[in-house]
Structure 1
Amino acid sequence: MRGRTVRLSAARRLVGDLMRFSIGIPRVTVQRQMNLRALVDARSACDPRPSWTVLFLKGYALLSKETPDLRRAYIKFPKHQLYEYPESVASVAHEREHEGERIVLLSTIKGPEQRPIPELEKLIQEARSRPIAEIKEFRRSLKLARAPAFLRWSLMWLGLNLGRKRARYFGTFQLSVYSGLGAESLNPLTPLTTLLNYGPIDADGTVTVRIHYDHRVMDGASIARALERFERILNGGVVDEVRGLKQAGKPAGISIAGRAP
Structure 2
Amino acid sequence: MPTVSQTKTFNLRELRLAREACPRRVSWAIAFLRAYALTSVEFPSLRRTYISWPWPHLYEHPEAIGNLVVSREANGESWLFFAPIASAESFSLDRQQGLLERYQSGPVEEVFKNQVRLAHYPFFVRRLMWWLRFHFSSSKRIKRLGTFALTTVARHGVSILDPRAPVTSTLTYGPISDTDQCDVTISYDHRVMDGKEVAEILCATECIMQTRLVQEFHDLAAYHRSLNKAA
Q: Give the superposition deviation at 1:253.
A: 11
Q: Within 5 Å, give how 1:140-219 maps onto structure 2.
A: 140-161=114-135, 162-219=137-194
Partner AA of 1:166 in structure 2: R
SS of aligned partner of 1:225: helix
Whole-angstrom distance in 1 between the partners of 2:219 and 2:3: 38
Which residue, 84, 89, 104 being the options, matches 2:65? 89
Partner of 2:85: 109
Post-superposition CA distance 1:204-255 (Å, at most 9, x none): 320000000000111011100110111100011111100101111224999x
Question: Cα RMSD over matched residues?
Answer: 1.7
Give 1:47-58 correspondences, 5 Å limit. Answer: 47-58=23-34
CA contact (8 A) 2:23 2:225 kept: no
| Partners of 1:155 and 1:251 in 2: CA distance | 49
Q: Check 1:132–1:77 CA distance in 2 against 1; reply closer, same or farther (3 A cut).
A: same
* Cα distance in 2 between the residues matched to 1:252 and 1:83: 43
Give 4+ residue runs of structure 1 displaced > 3 Å after superposition. Answer: 251-254
Query: SS of 1:189's equivalent?
Result: coil
Larger Rg: 1
* Residue identity (%): 37
Instruction: State the SS of the aligned residue for 2:197.
Output: helix
Asked whether the equivalents of residues 109 and 116 of structure 2 are also in contact (C-alpha less than 8 Å), the reply is: no
For the Cα contact (< 8 Å) 2:48–2:61, is it kept in 1? yes
Amino acid at match of 2:67: S
Q: Give secondary structure in 1 for the equivalent of 2:72.
A: strand
Under a length normalisation based on structure 2, what TM-score does the superposition of the two structures give?
Answer: 0.95
Please state whether the residue corresponding to 1:153 is helix, strand or coil. Answer: helix
CA displacement at 1:148 relative to structure 2: 2.1
In 2: Cα distance, 1:227 partner to 1:26 partner = 20
Q: Report the equivalent of 2:215.
A: 240
- When normalised by structure 1's length, the TM-score is 0.84
Moved more, 179-188 or 222-231: 179-188
Q: Does structure 1 residue 78 correspond to structure 2 residue 50?
A: no
User: Does 1:249 pair with 2:210?
Assistant: no
Paired AA for residue 157 in structure 1: W
Which of 196, 215, 221 is equivalent to 1:221? 196
Q: Distance in 2 between matches of 1:146 and 1:248?
A: 44
Tell me the CA shift for residue 54 of structure 1: 0.8
Q: Equivalents in 2 of 1:72, 1:117: separation in Å?
A: 24
Unpaired segments of 5 or more residues in structure 2? none
Q: Alpha-carbon deviations, 1:5-33, whole Å to 9, x = none?
A: xxxxxxxxxxxxxxxxxxxx111001001
What is the aligned counterpart of 2:17 among 41, 45, 49? 41
Structure 1: stretches of 5+ with no match in the other structure: 1-24, 255-259
Confirm whether residue 61 of structure 1 aligns to residue 37 of structure 2. Answer: yes
| Alpha carbons of structure 1 residues 96 and 253: separation in structure 2 relative to 1, 3 Å | closer
SS at match of 2:66: strand
Paired residues, number:
229
